Amino acid sequence: MGKNLSIATISLLLVLASTNAQQVFDVKSYGAQPNADITQALTKAWKAACAVAGSKVVISAGVYKLGLVTLLGPCKGAIEFNLQGTLEAPLDVASFNGKDAWVFFQYIDGLTVSGGGVFDGKGQQAWQRNTCNKDKNCNILPFNIRFDYVTNSIVQGITSKDSKFFHINLFECKKLQLQHVTITTPGDSPNTDGIHIGHSSQINITNANIGTGDDCISIGDGSQDITVNQVTCGPGHGISIGSLGRYQNEQPVSGIRVIGATLSNTDNGVRIKTWPSSTSGVASDIHFENVIMNNVANPIIIDQNYCPNNQCSNQSPSKVKINNVSFKKISGTSSTKEAVNLICSKSVPCQQVVLSDIDLAYKGGGGSATSTCANVQPAVSGKQNPPACTNKL
């Protein structure tokens, strides 16, 4: 016991020593003032902090204007971005010069983003100009926060508000945790996905509260070993794998677990979506469990004919192979009669799909909830409300 205690004590002392050794770079020391533009001050503070092993950039309480900024690594050691105040993005999209991110963290190992502050994307004007729901070749608007090639890192306690496009985007990230993150935009704000993950692995999202105008969480190609735990979603389009199959050379998606989510008044629940006339792909080892639906349209859905606003060709079935998928302990209320909708590809039917302990009530008129299946024969266990595959296409 004594030996264990001494090891624990030594470990704690080492942690405290490293914490005390953390060098602080306050943006006010670089000329930052509340209610003024701090782009240059933040850029200078970050550059100085990045050159030191064990550093912390601090933006204290207050409201600050911030232009687009790239916070670039690699740094000498672990670095913390501590936002206690509110950052406000430029209103005018033109000021971004076609760049797709407002605050961009890139090539960093050992990043902490913390402080309880707010990234306010000021997206209201941009939403009115968004044409992406009609034009698949539309200009991409800026994400609030983008993480590229960020590893062994944690994002905790921050708020992303009113992003012009996606709120938080992960690309080529590994071993990144997002904890107690709040994302908020109106339900009618287009393409404001809460957290989008692509080409990333070992990502954990825990205790997030997301309300948005698109998917609360969307998981794109190349995503491996993603865990989503205790997330609340609404408004929004639900939690989605995909869309997949739209572009050439997409990477497989596997090892996705969504556990303990609550979705309220969303356009979809838990969803896998792939495009018809698609390139080949694979989505496997995907599991949804302990999910509560409150007045959700399409609570459980596999849609391999995903084609929003007829932006695609329906001439051939999807070639994305879906297998080893489970929906377990999913309960609550559906705002549509079709509570379970498993529409798989005629070309590559879904395999190893499990429905277990499903209890979804429909409160509207015209009878009780139904379940529709196409090109899939799910394994069924436990309660089934509605009965599995009431309608077969």
Residues with catalytic roles: 214, 237
- Alpha-carbon Rg of the chain, whole angstroms? 22
Phi (first) and psi of residue 19, to 5 degrees: -65, -45
Q: Return the sign of the alpha-carbon dihedral for residues 152, 158, 159, 164.
A: negative
CA distances (Å), origin 313, targets 191, 278, 306, 343: 22, 9, 10, 17
* Two tokens, residue 380: 């069924």
How far is the C-alpha of 234 from the C-alpha of 238, rounded, in Å? 7
Contact 79, 50 (CB under 8 A): yes
Q: What amino acid occupies position 343?
A: I
SS3 45: helix
* Two tokens, residue 65: 């204007």
How far is the C-alpha of 155 from the C-alpha of 175, rounded, in Å? 11
SS3 237: coil
* Two tokens, residue 11: 């470990």
Residue 9 C-beta-side C-alpha neighbours within 13 Å: 6
State the DSSP code for 85. Answer: S
